[in-house]
Amino acid sequence: MKKLEDYVITIPDFPEPGIMFRDITGILQDAEGFKLAIDSLLALIGDTPCDVIAGAESRGFIFGAPLAYALHKPFALVRKKGKLPRETICESYELEYGTAEIEMHTDSIRPGQKVILIDDLIATGGTIEAAAKLVEQLGGEVVKIIFLMELAGLNGREKLSKYDVESVITYKGK
């Protein structure tokens, strides 16, 4: 039986020399790989009580929506600034060369709701830290953050140290 890592395609020197790009399309292009990914993420959630699953654009949508469906929970979108049509709140975060902003609809999380955040990858942790801040601004409680993959060499967990964070696959490097 294949492991999830077997479906990840590693591309050396992309997008620049020295980077080992971990491509998830191998998971998505194989029904068994995609099922294994969703089942593995569900296992990380376990019996964690939650009211809402929230996913970060765009690959967090790919994995978060099936999780919300399987758990019979609503799915909240965390999107790049300017992509949501109704009233939003916004949070900025640092990129390697500058800043970016993400938003959530103001009605996507109600005060007191327990939220599980999902994204495909944790690298530096900036995006998901900003997403957690948005959930908290709306009065929600982040009860768990899960990732399909983690690049441990970029120390993203340090930014998320106050949260319960788990990853299906951990790569030691960057």
Please list the active-site residues.
59, 96
Which regions of 42-97 does DSSP assign to beta strands (E)? Answer: 52-56, 75-80, 88-95
34 by DSSP, 3-state: which? helix
Cα 141–chain centre separation = 16
Which of 111-141 are b and which e, b meaning 16 or more Cβ less than 10 Å from the residue's Cβ?
eebbbbbbbbbbbbbbbbbbbbbbbeebebe
